Amino acid sequence: MPEKTRYINAGGKLLDLEIPKVMGILNITPDSFYKGSRYNTDEDVLRTAVRMMEEGADILDVGGYSSRPGAVDISPEEEGNRVLKSIRLISRELPDAIISVDTFRAEVAREAIVECGALMINDISGGDADSEMFSVVEKLNVPYIMMHMNGDPRTMQDNPVYEDVVADILKWFGERIFKLQSVGVKDIIIDPGFGFGKTVDHNFELLRRLGDFSIAGLPLLIGVSRKSMIWKTLRITADEALNGTSVLNAVALANGADILRVHDVKEAVQTVKLIQKIKSEV
């Protein structure tokens, strides 16, 4: 089994994953599933980015395309209009911030990196939605978060089926990791894609067997923040799912997660500190 990559180089800024990192979610959309993560003005975006950094966020993930189940498709132009201005603003006002652009479109990713100050790409389709994405990642030589999604946001929850959810996703990753590494891409982060073409049972199976993903030898990002696996199980709403999020984040960290992608940065940073304390006393 390969030793897991410890460092991620984001534009010359090294992320040491010996201590798990926290990625704060900034959705520049009107219809994200959790209304508390929607930011539609420059003032809202910058104020939230500043607060997340003060609370301990290591990465800010800025997206302009809602990927909730059944989301309405928007054009690349509309996505770019939403997200690129915000990335420029954050990059200018918070020059120390490590910004990730959350997009599956190669041209939006390229412009965010080259023109606007983003340092990472977070692709929910793992390169499947745009055949040019891997080429952009290769040419720009930036960290690439590759998420697994079964289908697309409009159809992904229409009866998703796996022979073995963990084994099937690992095989899917393996093919794409080989393609990227064969052209010299070094900083790859994998994300199993909780809630993206998975049932609630699939999601909990992934969480139980998270350690199996260590076979890839790559950093592991987990995004369970306020997702339906929590609120459907507890029969609550996304607004009420912070406690459940912290519980599942703690389980993910104990099972090998390296990055937590969250709406609530302060609570995630606290979770990381507590789990690290437990591990340091062993």
Boundaries of every domain in the chain: 17-280
More confident residue, 150 or 108: 108
Cβ pair 104, 133 in contact under 8 A: yes
38, 261, 266, 279: which one is catalytic?
261
Selection from 100, 103, 96 nearest residue 87 by Cα: 100
At 275, is the secondary structure helix, strand, or coil?
A: helix
110, 176, 226, 227: which one is catalytic?
227
CA 199/CA 220 separation, integer angstroms: 21
Please report the pLDDT score of residue 198 as a whole number: 93
Length of the chain: 282
Give the residue-averaged pLDDT of 71-96: 90
In this structure, the dihedral spanned by the alpha carbons of residues 134, 139, 142 and 144, taken in order and rounded to 10 degrees, is: 0
For this structure, is 6 an active site residue? no
Cβ pair 60, 86 in contact under 8 A: no
The rounded mean pLDDT for the chain is 92
pLDDT in tens, 99-146: 999 999 999 999 999 999 999 999 999 999 999 999 999 999 999 999
Q: What is the CATH number of domain 17-280?
A: 3.20.20.20
Tokens standing for residue 19:
């201590």
pLDDT in tens, 44-83: 899 999 999 999 999 999 998 876 666 677 888 899 988 9
Cβ pair 23, 106 in contact under 8 A: no
CA 182 centroid distance within chain: 24
In this structure, the dihedral spanned by the alpha carbons of residues 71, 88, 105 and 32, taken in order and rounded to 10 degrees, is: -10
pLDDT in tens, 163-220: 999 999 999 999 999 999 999 999 999 999 999 989 999 999 999 999 999 999 999 9
Helices 265-280 and 42-55: crossing angle in degrees, nearest 10, is: 20
- The pTM of the full predicted model, rounded to 2 decimals, is 0.92
Give the residue-averaged pLDDT of 244-270: 98
Selection from 155, 152, 150 nearest residue 105 by Cα: 152
For this structure, is 227 an active site residue? yes
